[in-house]
Structure 1
């Protein structure tokens, strides 16, 4: 009983920061947020609302870890994921204001060692191209999300990534170009990206509970724990924090809702803060200038309900129209933790969200709810229920994927060769090395820099990963024989790893 009373007291102390404007809307929103949190089963989250320069709300909801009775408060830190990207764009804008480079300068002029597969693309790559996801490159998150290469090695390996479409001729979300932007910021400023963001953004904005990397956040005890569904079930599990420090400028910042409210205020007010400004007004405007049109099929599923007439990407910001209002926003996602920022500049209206359940799209629902409640029409649309119906159940989607995998297996088959024949080192010029071993008559796959993953036999020479992390689903590994009947390679997804000759 004492523990429960302490929990209730802590929840009261974690209450909202209210100001006079919009008090009735805030009460309605406060109730709606908690209902939506329970509807989406998010253990803990936090929401900030800014209107006309005032931080109207900065409040935590739920628990830092499921069942812990430790409430999320206004100073609980979460990873903010890809909403970090806007900070990296602002950092680059500061260097533009200082005359150290221009948005349309060639990147190779400052980072001659950074090479792409296509020499023409290397020569033509501009500074702004690092922020717009249209350099012609496919996704390459395997390099940091699975293989766990160092930042320097990730950038070096980009010369082996073949283009997927012509330079500036399409759109594919690309985290690693933000890593390159961070390297450029470090080169021209004389300090690592991490120090630059800490000193030039967090310090002047008094973001006192913000950290540029997971490593630097470890000292802070009031932190959220990531959660994920056990794959294929509706059981929610706490999981270890995913480490994005190797691509820090793309998504490694940790912060709390109070600090992110200050960031929203700054972005709404042309990068001003009490006593100064981060950017010149024209540079701030350039950051929000649309750079790339995004095809509707590549935009967020929310567009099925919001029905925008245009969808675009600026320098670290997604954009679309909503009820005749221009919206700048971005989501942030790492396994088990989520974030979202949303601005309607013409109305001085801003929103920020932090949560600790993987891809719980309640973040979108609450953004549009804020836009409605504090907008000219003040509609009462139930975005949470509508988006839950649109996105569906994450456990059901995972269970369906498992069933499709099971249905694809051909029964009563065996590997072509003894299991020992599949062992050895495999390599790919871009993705790196993989090691197949045999332990207790079970094959194990170990990507470079990662822990071993057991392989179960699927059918013939196809095996299925059995990741010890309960939230990670299975993947197919297919081995290939040469003309002599020996294993020569395996494919994982679209990529082929060649077996190295035994020495």
Structure 2
């Protein structure tokens, strides 16, 4: 059913409905929504399949979908307003304007600009499992930037990073003193009359005309409903906007008309141009496959630009579980396309977009679907065969080195937060944010979760400290291995608990001072001070020496000595209360 029609567009799209009907069948797609903007107006809207596959409800111009990473251009544009007003500069270190921001080292602190953050060229990789299904606030994610070690040098390559966009949105909040959401409503959504656009699944659910996510069950052709990804508030500026074809046509119209909408300059023209200017070259994966339709891909800020069969195409995709989107336009041809695709297994929104432009430009239709099916089928076959061999490499008849309870507890990483390992009825469970998966012993001190098609697979390789205790595990996450250290009971770090250990300890005529700083940090005074990290009741470690512990000795509830243990022996140092 077409919801907006233009005779010329309909003529140019002859045969497209047939192609989409075939693609829906070949790819087992639940639903696709398409909108076309020409000369500033929405001239075509059509739904293929359903917005709710189970209830067979149609896609309309007002169906709300998460636009995912198409949110990024809204954030880059909002930052552009601040640049235009002299509150930021694209190319000066962001720390000049926002002293609170901290990156991994001083080199990055002194050089990273807001353009670097918005162009994905900071050298820091994705680290998406920090935010995925987490309840971290935007400020908490902002504070985690300092733990993210670069994988490559600044401005030497494109490394997509959602956290840099979350941080960019928070920078708007710091400078303007209002939420990123409020700023977008005031400066963009309101003036563009994007009256249906919201920021959360909760608000989306208050409406009737909304999409429902369906995926294909792994190794089958069965479509099933999956949960909405609702934990997107902290990451908001990277991907939380929810909109429809009607509202997004206003956005496209302004972008295509130098920032002007209905005769008013909503977005400064300089900002529209700045976000489109190339900031970093992208790898051309299609060219590597021998396909030459797409050439010269570059990324600006919040969008990329390519040459598609000789026509400049500005575009960006968006991907969240069960829903995928693309918003694009051809500046010289004054036409834009909005595509929503339901289902992670579905036909690529890139391919649908390319085919639409081919129809509109009178070009021959490239067989993108057929090309994609070959890759899809090969990938399915490889995945099924690979998962069948998951237990190969297992060393048979091994046992854990410790009791099962020793593998339990809270394990923490500064960037990724806490993973809890618990037990119920002899079964270990892995809990990370809102992800909970059962675990099984693989071999030695390795435990694996089930391989869940929605939230993934985790293999935990436990390690012991020099004292022979399980104190951490290493797990592959995102782009590398991440270490989670066993977290001590928070009660061991209270001021009341730590205060009892302070005082003077004597070895002969030499004195050792144990002091408390900032209420909950205990140190042996020296040059430098040696911080004591609570580990167990009355037992402390240090960051510097894994084989070194300090145990405080109590008699009748009073500290009388501290005992130093290391590889050379055990040394008891009496507490000196003579000065009291």
TM-score by length of 2: 0.79
Aligned residue for 2:332, secondary structure, equals helix
- Which position in structure 2 is the counterpart of 1:130? 117
Counting only pairs closer than 5 Å after superposition, residues 11-90 of structure 1 correspond to structure 2 as 12=1, 15-90=2-77
Check the 8 A contact 2:9/2:44 in 1, yes or no: no
- Which position in structure 1 is the counterpart of 2:316? 330
Check the 8 A contact 2:27/2:345 in 1, yes or no: no
Shift of 1:193: 0.9
- Which position in structure 2 is the counterpart of 1:457? 441
Distance in 1 between residues matched to 2:204 and 2:186, nearest whole Å: 15
Structure 2 stretches lacking a partner, 5+ long = 488-534, 538-580
Distance in 1 between residues matched to 2:467 and 2:61, nearest whole Å: 65
* 1:499 is the counterpart of 2:486: yes
Counting only pairs closer than 5 Å after superposition, residues 290-369 of structure 1 correspond to structure 2 as 290-296=278-284, 299=285, 304-306=290-292, 308-358=294-344, 360-369=346-355
Aligned residue for 1:347, secondary structure, equals coil
Aligned residue for 1:135, secondary structure, equals coil
* 1:172 is the counterpart of 2:159: yes
Distance in 2 between residues matched to 1:392 and 1:342, nearest whole Å: 28
Counting only pairs closer than 5 Å after superposition, residues 104-123 of structure 1 correspond to structure 2 as 104-123=91-110
Distance in 1 between residues matched to 2:338 and 2:288, nearest whole Å: 17
Structure 1 stretches lacking a partner, 5+ long = 1-11
Shift of 1:347: 0.9
Shift of 1:395: 4.6
Distance in 1 between residues matched to 2:30 and 2:101, nearest whole Å: 42
* 1:143 is the counterpart of 2:126: no
What number of residue pairs does the alignment pair up? Answer: 485
Per mean C-alpha deviation after superposition, the further-off stretch among 395-404 and 122-131 is 395-404
Change beyond 3 A, Cα 1:492–1:25 = same
Distance in 2 between residues matched to 1:265 and 1:152, nearest whole Å: 33
Check the 8 A contact 2:133/2:435 in 1, yes or no: no
Aligned residue for 2:291, secondary structure, equals helix
- Which position in structure 1 is the counterpart of 2:417? 432
Q: Deviations over 1:391-413 (max 9, x none)?
A: 44665454244224233434443
Check the 8 A contact 2:137/2:233 in 1, yes or no: no
- Which position in structure 2 is the counterpart of 1:161? 148
Please provide the CA RMSD for this pair: 2.3
Segments ≥4 residues shifted beyond 6 Å: 300-303
Distance in 1 between residues matched to 2:303 and 2:389, nearest whole Å: 36
Change beyond 3 A, Cα 1:373–1:248 = same
Aligned residue for 1:373, secondary structure, equals helix
Distance in 1 between residues matched to 2:102 and 2:216, nearest whole Å: 39
Shift of 1:307: 5.2
Change beyond 3 A, Cα 1:340–1:300 = farther
Which of 143, 167, 180 is 1:193 aligned to? 180
Change beyond 3 A, Cα 1:149–1:289 = same
Per mean C-alpha deviation after superposition, the further-off stretch among 264-273 and 228-237 is 228-237
- Which position in structure 1 is the counterpart of 2:576? none
- Which position in structure 1 is the counterpart of 2:473? 490
Distance in 2 between residues matched to 1:239 and 1:306, nearest whole Å: 36
Q: Deviations over 1:99-149 (max 9, x none)?
A: 332222332133211100111211212121220111111222122115442
Q: Quick check: which has more Rg, 1 or 2?
A: 2
Aligned residue for 1:360, secondary structure, equals coil
* 1:259 is the counterpart of 2:242: no
- Which position in structure 2 is the counterpart of 1:4? none
- Which position in structure 2 is the counterpart of 1:6? none
Check the 8 A contact 1:50/1:264 in 2, yes or no: yes
Shift of 1:263: 2.0
Structure with more strand by fraction? 2
Structure with more helix by fraction? 1
Which of 477, 480, 484 is 2:463 aligned to? 480
Shift of 1:313: 0.6
Check the 8 A contact 1:231/1:472 in 2, yes or no: no
Change beyond 3 A, Cα 1:363–1:288 = same
Check the 8 A contact 2:84/2:271 in 1, yes or no: yes
Counting only pairs closer than 5 Å after superposition, residues 241-256 of structure 1 correspond to structure 2 as 241-243=228-230, 244-256=232-244
Which of 441, 454, 472 is 2:426 aligned to? 441
Distance in 2 between residues matched to 1:473 and 1:399, nearest whole Å: 15
- Which position in structure 2 is the counterpart of 1:5? none
Distance in 2 between residues matched to 1:326 and 1:23, nearest whole Å: 23
Aligned residue for 2:8, secondary structure, equals coil
Change beyond 3 A, Cα 1:444–1:502 = farther
Check the 8 A contact 1:97/1:279 in 2, yes or no: no
Distance in 1 between residues matched to 2:186 and 2:289, nearest whole Å: 38
Shift of 1:415: 2.4
Aligned residue for 2:234, secondary structure, equals helix
Distance in 2 between residues matched to 1:472 and 1:182, nearest whole Å: 27
Distance in 2 between residues matched to 1:129 and 1:455, nearest whole Å: 40
Higher relative contact order (CA 8 A, sep 6+): 1
Check the 8 A contact 2:133/2:229 in 1, yes or no: no
Distance in 1 between residues matched to 2:196 and 2:101, nearest whole Å: 34
* 1:286 is the counterpart of 2:274: yes
Counting only pairs closer than 5 Å after superposition, residues 269-284 of structure 1 correspond to structure 2 as 269-284=257-272
